[in-house]
Every structure is written in structure tokens, then in C-alpha cells.
């Protein structure tokens, strides 16, 4: 087989890259280890920055997004039993949208199949070769047949546990990482949302987040230990903890209960590799970086990577040379590190750190008070939350 761009991974990053390349007349083949059903049913993040909504809309993927998505113009920070609204739209003129990552994936897969372009699921034994050459190769097994795919470029969009980053020789990448001393216990419940906007709560018992997937599906999280046993959390215990952490000074909680459909523990970590490129292999999304979910940046960062990479590839195939491809890593990393900073800051602001002394506790509350009472501080939070302007090199 021969193509221009070989894409490993059919998550949002790989699928969006293929979509943008198709619109630019550039051929690609997508290889995915999992089944289509698995990929479409993976429950992931559900908050899209304004820029992500804009790119999906501009490229013909916005119909269902705007029909079913929930636009939000603000968020609430809750501490000391009081809620404080941050007016995202009033401060920045921009919004965010609640629309599940799996729904974005479904839309992208449908568009790819409608284009009749190669999208191979359940691919096995994927390996990368000749990354330092002008014609890298991908070998794989699909449908029982061994295949070699010759490419000009390979895009590694296969997530944190994928094979692409591991294909880069030892010592080439510099790794930056931090593991946080807590995790999130998350639930999906058949219940109305607690509010029409997200509520981020800092409580002495630990952080809590009330969000949603739709007007009838609530998505809630509570801070827990990284080694937490989900089986130890009955439905009653989960609801009691959410009510306690979300309650106001009069003991009233906005949480609405319903049947819990899913439970799971999400680890909290920060991870970045530099550079995001080796030879003709370009890493994007979770293959290159992970952020704690507090700032809602994971999928949005992947989309930002892909916009930069797609524009660089279009310039390359239009005969404008390698300059933008050579600048890809540096350009993408500027945004990645700003998102890491914001995600680290939100995480540090809202979570309980075991062993923190009373001074640190008071400073944390003072920081929250400052953010909610200062127009400048509120604007800083808002412009990062809705998404910083894209840097394209």
C-alpha cells in the first residue's frame, strides 16, 4: 500500500487530521487497533473550547454538534459553602460546549466513511520503520493479511499507551511528568444536571465537580485516593459525598439523584514529551501530552495539535517546503505548556492536598476569593478556560 500520510489511531486527533487532509486533497490511511464499536463507545471528556467548536463547524462537522450540544457561557466556583459565577462569555465573548468526545468521534467516523477513504479497525502488530528516511513504513496485520504501508509522513495519534511514541529511539525524547496524590471517582447517572453550568467545588473533604452529558445525563466527580476501590463506593455513599461537598451554608445541595450507569476512577497526571517529532513521525494529542482533567484541555489540545500539523502538511504538499513541519513541535508545545500551566493551577486551586498545613489551606481560599472578586483574575481564568488563540507558527 502507498499513501501520503499514515495515521495511527482513530481517536479525535487521528480522525480530525484525516478529515482536514481530505479537504486539502491529501491522501491518508487510518489504522486503529480497537473495533469501531469500542472507539465510538469510549466515554471521555465532554467539554469543547470555542476554537474546537469553530473548526468542527467550519469543516462541515457541526450539524449534530449544534443540534445536540449544550453551549455554556459561564462556570461556578463553589467554596466555603458559596457559589461564585465566572461569566466566560461576558469576559471573553466566547463560550464552551458540552458535547461528548465519543460523539465527536462518531461524527468524524461517519464523515470518513462517507468519503470512502481508508479507515481500518482491529489492526494488529503495528510497527513503524525508517522514521529517519523520506519514506517511512508501517507494517501491520489486518483481516489475517500482513501489509506494508509506505508513507511520506506518519502521524502518531494513538494515545498515551500507543506504539508510536515507543517507536522513537531511547534518549531522543525528554519527558516531563507529574503524578498527583489523588484521583477522581466519576459517575454517569440518569439524572438531570445539578445546574445549567458546571460547578467546581472546593471542600475540606476534597474536590467535587458537577457536570453533564445531556439534559438527562449527569456526569459527576469526587476527589479520591489514586488506589481507590470502586467496589467500596455504593451508590448511596457516592450521593452522600456529592451532597456534602456541593452543599451551601444552609446544607442545601444542587445535586439531583438518579440511577448510576457507570463508575470509574481517573488518574491525575501531567505528562509532556519534547520534541513532538522524530524524523517523519509527528506525535499529536495524548501520544505527546496528558493534562489533569480539571482544566478540560485534553481533547482540545489534541485538536490544536492537529490544526497546526494539518496546515504544515498542506504547505508541504503545496510545494512550500518543510518549514512549518520543522516548526510543528515548537509551535504545538507553546500551547501545550500553557495548557499544562492552567490545568496544574486549576488542580492546585481546588483539590485537598493531604498533609497541607493550615497556612496552605488559607492561601488556597484566598486565591479562590481573589479569582472570584478580581476582574483581572476572573478574565485570566476565563480566557484560558474558553481556549487561548491558536498559534500556527
* Span 190-194, average pLDDT: 96
The backbone region for 25, taken as left when phi is positive above 0, alpha when psi lies in -120 to 50, beta otherwise, is left
313 pLDDT more than 70: yes
Band the pLDDT of 390: cuts 50, 70, 90. Answer: confident
Which among 99, 293, 328, 351 is annotated as catalytic?
A: 293
Selecting among 203, 220, 289, 297, the annotated active-site residue is 297
Can 200 be counted among the known catalytic residues?
A: yes
Per-residue pLDDT, 393: 58
Q: What is the mean pLDDT of residues 318-330?
A: 96
Structural domains for the chain? 5-46+100-173+275-350 (3.50.50.60), 180-267+353-384 (3.30.9.10)
* pLDDT per position as a tens digit, 241-251: 999 999 999 99
Give the confidence band of 207 by pLDDT, cuts at 50, 70, 90.
very high
* Burial of residue 329, with CB atoms counted within 10 A of its CB: 0-12 exposed, 13-18 middle, 19 or more buried: buried
pLDDT at 80 over 90: yes
- Give catalytic status of residue 256 as yes or no: no
What's the pTM? Answer: 0.94
Residues 6 or more apart whose Cβ sits within 8 Å of residue 193 = 210, 211, 212, 215, 218, 256
**Catalytic residue of the set 99, 180, 221, 385:** 385
pLDDT, tens only, 344-381: 999 999 999 988 788 988 999 999 999 999 999 999 99
The position carrying cell 484560558 is 384
CB 200 within 8 A of CB 77: yes
Catalytic status, residue 297 = yes
C-alpha cell, 78: 463553589
254-276 pLDDT, tens digit each = 999 999 999 999 999 999 999 99
Which pLDDT score is estimated for 46?
Answer: 84
Radius of gyration of the chain (CA): 22
State the pLDDT at residue 98. Answer: 95
All three cell numbers of 371, joined, read 479569582
Given the residues 200, 278, 328, 351, the one annotated as active site: 200
What integer is the mean pLDDT of 232-248?
A: 97
Compute the mean pLDDT over every residue in the chain, rounded to the nearest whole number.
95
Check pLDDT > 80 for residue 45.
no
Residue 370 is among the residues annotated as catalytic for this protein: no
Specify whether 99 is catalytic: no
Measured CA to CA, the distance from residue 280 to residue 318 in angstroms comes to 17
HSE-up (13 A, CA, CB side) for residue 45: 21
The Cα 266–Cα 140 span in angstroms is 31
Q: Give the pLDDT score at 392.
A: 60
With contact defined as beta carbons under 8 Å apart, do 60 and 107 qualify? no
Judge whether residue 387 has pLDDT over 90.
Answer: yes
Question: How does DSSP classify residue 157?
Answer: -
What is the band of 188 on the pLDDT scale with cuts at 50, 70, 90?
very high
- Given 72, 220, 289, 351, the catalytic residue: 72
pLDDT attached to residue 85: 97
* pLDDT of 278 over the 90 cut: yes
Minimum mean pLDDT among 40-44, 146-150, 233-237: which range? 40-44
For residue range 20-35, list pLDDT tens digits in order.
999 999 999 999 999 9
Amino acid at each position: 500500500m502507498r499513501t501520503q500520510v499514515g495515521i495511527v489511531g482513530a481517536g479525535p486527533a487521528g480522525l480530525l487530521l484525516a478529515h482536514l487532509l481530505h479537504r486539502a486533497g491529501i491522501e491518508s490511511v487510518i489504522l486503529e487497533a480497537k473495533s469501531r464499536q469500542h472507539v465510538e463507545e469510549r466515554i471521555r471528556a465532554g467539554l469543547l473550547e470555542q476554537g474546537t467548536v469553530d473548526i468542527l463547524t467550519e469543516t462541515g462537522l457541526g450539524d449534530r454538534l449544534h443540534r445536540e450540544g449544550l453551549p455554556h457561557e459561564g462556570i461556578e466556583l463553589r467554596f466555603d459553602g458559596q457559589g461564585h459565577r465566572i461569566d466566560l462569555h461576558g469576559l471573553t465573548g466566547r463560550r464552551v460546549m458540552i458535547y461528548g468526545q465519543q460523539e465527536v468521534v462518531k461524527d468524524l467516523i461517519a464523515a470518513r466513511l462517507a468519503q470512502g477513504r481508508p479507515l481500518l479497525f482491529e489492526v494488529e502488530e503495528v510497527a513503524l520503520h525508517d522514521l529517519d528516511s523520506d519514506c517511512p513504513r508501517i507494517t501491520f496485520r489486518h483481516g489475517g493479511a500482513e501489509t506494508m504501508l509506505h508513507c511520506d509522513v506518519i502521524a502518531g495519534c494513538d494515545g498515551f499507551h500507543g506504539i508510536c511514541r515507543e517507536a522513537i529511539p531511547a534518549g531522543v525524547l525528554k519527558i516531563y511528568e507529574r503524578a498527583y496524590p489523588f484521583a477522581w471517582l466519576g459517575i454517569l447517572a440518569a439524572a438531570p444536571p445539578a445546574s445549567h453550568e458546571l460547578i467546581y467545588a472546593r471542600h475540606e473533604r476534597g474536590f467535587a465537580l458537577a457536570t453533564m452529558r445531556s439534559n438527562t445525563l449527569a456526569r459527576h466527580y469526587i476527589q479520591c485516593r489514586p488506589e481507590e476501590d470502586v467496589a467500596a463506593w455504593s451508590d448511596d455513599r457516592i450521593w452522600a459525598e456529592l451532597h456534602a461537598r456541593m452543599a451551601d451554608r444552609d446544607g442545601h445541595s444542587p445535586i439531583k439523584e438518579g440511577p448510576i450507569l457507570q463508575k470509574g476512577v481517573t488518574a491525575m497526571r501531567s505528562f509532556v514529551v519534547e520534541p513532538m517529532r522524530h524524523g517523519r513521525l509527528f506525535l499529536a494529542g495524548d501520544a505527546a501530552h496528558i493534562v489533569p482533567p480539571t482544566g478540560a484541555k485534553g481533547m482540545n489540545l489534541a485538536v490544536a495539535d492537529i490544526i497546526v500539523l494539518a496546515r504544515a502538511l498542506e504547505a508541504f504538499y503545496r510545494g512550500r517546503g518543510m518549514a512549518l513541519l520543522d516548526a510543528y513541535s515548537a509551535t504545538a508545545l507553546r500551547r501545550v505548556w500553557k495548557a499544562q500551566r492552567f490545568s496544574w493551577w486549576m488542580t492546585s486551586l481546588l483539590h485537598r492536598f493531604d498533609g497541607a498545613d493550615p497556612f496552605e489551606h488559607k492561601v488556597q481560599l484566598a486565591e479562590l476569593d481573589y479569582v472570584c472578586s478580581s476582574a483581572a483574575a476572573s478574565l485570566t481564568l476565563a480566557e484560558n478556560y474558553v481556549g487561548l488563540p491558536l498559534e500556527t507558527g
